[in-house]
Amino acid sequence: MIIMKFGGTSVGKPERMKKIANLLLETPGKKIVVLSALSGTTNALVKIGDELVAGNSEAAENAIATLENHYLQFTEELFESEAYRAVGKEIVSRYFSLFRLLAAGNPESYQTDDRTYRELLAQGELISTELFYHHLQERKISARLLPALHFMSIDENQEPELEKISARLKPLIDSMQHLDILVTQGYICRNHLNEIDNLKRGGSDYTASLIGAAIRAEEIQIWTDIDGMHNNDPRIVKKTIPIAELTFDEASELAYFGAKILHPSTIVPAQKFSIPVRLKNTMDEKAPGTLISNKGSRGEIRAIAAKDGITSIRIKSSRMLLAYGFLRKVFDVFEKYRTSIDMITTSEIAVSVTIDDARQIGPIISELENLGVIETEKDMSIVCIVGNQMAEQPGLLDRVFSSLNDIPVQMVSYGGSPNNISILVKTADKNKTLEKLNEGLFHLS
Ligand code: ADP
Ligand code: ASP
Ligand code: MG
């Protein structure tokens, strides 16, 4: 069995949904198809939710009406026959009645508990899969809907429960053995309270790899709007090139450090069971894309990615001098506030760390102040250079630093992993950093 995940742009136009059905017909064997919401829908639902939180019910109502028109137009073009157009209208009207019902709830409930908000966000994937399923029906392609809310779950720490997912999923799939195509929702899940929840933005990739791992699939395919992982961020850098193969470690670092093509956690479940992940372009299915697997590639710089929203914290203390146990005290504070550290550098009298989740920064700083003088800076970005056996490449650091000689680098982490050099810069300097490294390391400009 293979998993085929199609992202927002891949399902975002009626002709693209039709193309997905063709791709499924051309792909032999059994497959679980994971769909995102149509492009723009989750953003629109977030906006509706935000308007409701802010008490702007009229703005929410307008946004719902705009989205409804989009869906009415979409179903008009997706379905060919009058009978199925009627089915399409019924589906749209059912979902939008629900949106209005959710919107009509007590506005205060949005402020105190985001349950309704999360329920609203989940509707994007529910409607896209239902529309696609009926499109398959209209074309007499046999398939079944596999409701993600029946098997996908996260625990109280928001971590997916892989074993439980597997135990629920296997009998469901066994009961549908006669079918080659099972369609399910990306992104959505249930939490430990059995409420509707999600795997965070971009989470459909994660759904695909969790399902792949849960059923030990042969391959996990992520179909998107670009021909695989590129060597640098194509949204920022003018000239980028696709990479044919990556190891799990390389892809994992790139996803974690901001390559938007993959949700940060996508590689983890796939790597656990050595299931290859293939990135493919829905708009150009002949393009080779990227294969992520155990197979290594040696001695090369592969790609650069960047992660924004980083805060740096420096703890300066003369008590650190020749002392042991100091770092443990620092780490204890972060552990207490369940905040993970991305980068760390130390000198004899200071330690600097970066975090990407600054929600607990207040209490963290007040406790760190018992250890020394604290300086923080926000609006930073980590630029991550990913490759293989980087320490063994003579002159590599020289090439990195000479590329960046007019950029104020705030922190550098090298040697922690053979796959990664991380550089901290102000977010205002990020685009220039990516361009300069593209020139210096890949000779692309
Ligand atoms: P989907 O809706 O299919 O999940 P996303 O928008 O989440 O698609 O991811 C695909 C986008 O990721 C591409 O269009 C591209 O702009 C962006 N991206 C960022 N970094 C990279 C990279 N290194 N390689 C490829 N795409 C990247
Ligand atoms: N629809 C969700 C989002 O936009 C999940 C996804 O597309 O992967 O974040
Ligand atoms: Mg995505």
- Helices 57-78 and 14-26, interaxial angle, to 10°? 50
- DSSP, collapsed to helix, strand or coil, labels residue 329 as helix
pLDDT value at residue 349: 87
pLDDT value at residue 299: 58
pLDDT value at residue 230: 98
Query: Residue 289 CA: which ligand is closest?
Result: 1
pLDDT value at residue 403: 95
| pLDDT of 298 higher than 80 | no
Which residue among 226, 266, 385, 444 is best mutated to probe the pocket of ligand 1, counting the most ligand atoms within 8 A of its Cβ?
226
Ligand 1 atom with the shortest distance to the CA of 205: 4
* Residues 49 and 59 sit within 8 Å (Cβ to Cβ): no
For residues 3 and 1, give the distance between their C-alpha atoms in angstroms, rounded to a whole number: 7
Cα of first residue to Cα of last residue in the chain, in angstroms, is: 41
Query: Residue 222 CA: which ligand is closest?
Result: 1
CA of 7 to the centre of ligand 3 (A): 6
pLDDT value at residue 202: 97
Distances from the Cα of 286 to the Cαs of 3, 241, 359, in angstroms? 18, 16, 44
Read off the pTM: 0.94
Ligand 1 atom with the shortest distance to the CA of 231: 23
Residues 6+ apart with CB under 8 A from 265: 206, 209, 255, 256
Which residue among 5, 42, 123 is best mutated to probe the pocket of ligand 2, counting the most ligand atoms within 8 A of its Cβ?
42
- Nearest-CA residue for ligand 2 atom 5 is 202
- DSSP, collapsed to helix, strand or coil, labels residue 379 as strand
- DSSP, collapsed to helix, strand or coil, labels residue 216 as coil
Distances from the Cα of 45 to the Cαs of 42, 118, 124, 160, 390, in angstroms? 5, 10, 8, 23, 43
* Residues 271 and 250 sit within 8 Å (Cβ to Cβ): no
Buried b (16+ CB within 10 A) or exposed e, 165-183: bbeebeeebeebeeebbbb
Ligand 1 atom with the shortest distance to the CA of 222: 3
Residues 6+ apart with CB under 8 A from 366: none
| pLDDT of 107 higher than 90 | no
The per-residue pLDDT for range 120-145, each reduced to its tens digit, is: 999 999 999 999 999 999 999 999 99
Cβ(234) – ligand 1 distance below 6 Å: yes
Distances from the Cα of 437 to the Cαs of 234, 345, 401, 425, in angstroms? 14, 22, 9, 13
